[in-house]
Amino acid sequence: MAKKTKIVRPFVVTKDPMIQDLLRKFSKRSDEGISNYKVTMVQATKPIGKWIEDAQEELWDGIVYLEKIKSLLTKLN
């Protein structure tokens, strides 16, 4: 019988509900990534250049989303 890997989440105590919500979202996103790619980030391998490229693409998307939010806020004012 194959040994099942046990994933243990660290217990984090914070009184800040916003941080609690963010931690839940991080955990959910991690679980989804493991389910989709069948590896954890610790196990994931690719060339360093690909890691940088992936991070750049994520950040570019974030900039686009922030610009959209700015335009929406401008229209409200």
From first to last of the 77 residues of the chain, give the pLDDT tens digit: 566 666 556 667 788 999 989 988 998 999 999 999 999 999 999 999 999 999 999 999 999 999 999 999 999 98
Sequence spans of domains, the chain: 15-45, 46-77
Q: Are residues 23 and 12 in contact, defined by beta-carbon separation less than 8 angstroms?
A: yes
pTM over 0.75: no
Alpha-carbon distance 17 to 48, whole Å?
Answer: 35
Q: What is the pLDDT of residue 12?
A: 72
